[in-house]
Amino acid sequence: MKVRRFVDSTVLHVTAGDGGNGAVSFRREKYVAKGGPDGGDGGRGGHVILRAERNTDSLVSLFFEPLQNAENGGKGRGAQQHGRNGRDLTLNVPTGTEIRIAESGAVLGDLVHDGDTLLVARGGKGGLGNVHWQTSSHQAPFEHTDGEPGEHFDLRLDLKMVANVGLVGLPNAGKSSLLAALTNARPRIANYPFTTINPIIGTMEEEGEPGFTIADIPGLVDNASKGVGLGDRFLKHVERAGALLYVLDMAGSEGRDPLEDYRILQRELRLYRDTLPNVASLIAANKMDLPDAAGYLAVFQRETNLSPIPISAVTGEGLPELRVQLRELVRRKS
Ligand SMILES: Nc1nc2c(ncn2[C@@H]2O[C@H](COP(=O)(O)OP(=O)(O)OP(=O)(O)O)[C@@H](O)[C@H]2O)c(=O)[nH]1
Ligand SMILES: [Mg+2]
């Protein structure tokens, strides 16, 4: 079995290259007894740069190689030769990676779009060669400067997926089934809670329409904010989504009450971030193919004055209408 590890947070120690030292050197030419100074400058140390790359899907490679150094600059040499600049080190991270200084938590940047780059550690400047010190009264200078050290930092990298729509629901509500029915993603689906343990993104595409992305995250439970179940840390992935889609098991097939489920979800979202329940949203009343669903839906509508979209991720009922409304929601947000 191919085991794929998903890492959405890691600490990275980056060190830029040191600048090369300036050289002390004197010209040696035939017939010139005492040549003047000709020591060249050192090269700049390489920078460390992070670049967002669409096809990088987690921080796993950096997780296993947390020490990253760029090359040092070369020393200056005689004949006023400049040292070689150290090569910059460019590290790919997934789009949606937020970069902070680990200790202070200060945000350095947010690489949201494919190709975005951020210089995270600046290479040291090269030192000056002795050629710079020559004056009429000072013909044989031994002065020079050393290269400056490269910057180094402990960075905290956090991947926050960027999707247009985030799915929120209790375990077994049918979020993954719905993602599979609407998009190209093929998440695992099963009738036990917490089948989904990593966030997954799918793209919904239809002829002649712009595609958009939907993120499926692990199910939330009562007190997820206190760490129950898989906790609420995955909400960071839907935090940036422009819109939310609540997925409710409207058939109460686990012996639960859909109305209470909806209130649990709202409460857990609010406890995570008080503005999150106000994000534009739709409600999908899932499992409408099951016998009790129609009755629960009527109660839900009466009690909340909301109009969930009745669907079944299994039979496909209601999905065309859901697609239309999702597209409209995303269009309004962008
Ligand atoms: N009858 C019926 N069953 C459904 C429907 N949607 C999902 N299911 C079933 O419900 C169970 C849970 O579905 P999942 O899609 O894995 O649910 P989930 O919300 O992703 O669950 P977690 O990942 O555990 O949070 C599976 O057995 C699905 O086949 C539906 O519309 N009708
Ligand atoms: Mg799932």
Structure token digits, residue 224: 């997820």
Look at ligand 1, atom 32, and give the residue with the nearest C-alpha.
287
The whole model's pTM is what?
0.70
Look at ligand 1, atom 27, and give the residue with the nearest C-alpha.
191
Establish whether residue 19 lines the binding site of ligand 1, counting it when its CB lies within 6 angstroms of any ligand atom.
Answer: no
Establish whether residue 25 lines the binding site of ligand 1, counting it when its CB lies within 6 angstroms of any ligand atom.
Answer: no
CA of 51 to the centre of ligand 2 (A): 30
CA of 193 to the centre of ligand 1 (A): 9
CA of 197 to the centre of ligand 2 (A): 8
Q: What is the pLDDT along the chain (334 residues), one digit of tens a residue?
A: 334 456 788 999 999 999 999 999 998 776 666 778 999 999 999 999 999 987 787 888 899 999 999 999 999 999 999 999 999 999 999 888 999 999 999 999 999 888 999 999 999 999 999 999 988 888 888 999 999 999 999 999 998 877 889 999 999 999 999 999 999 888 888 888 888 877 888 889 888 887 888 988 888 888 888 888 887 878 887 887 889 999 999 999 989 999 999 999 999 999 998 888 888 899 999 999 999 999 999 999 999 999 999 999 999 999 999 999 999 999 887 6
Look at ligand 1, atom 14, and give the residue with the nearest C-alpha.
174
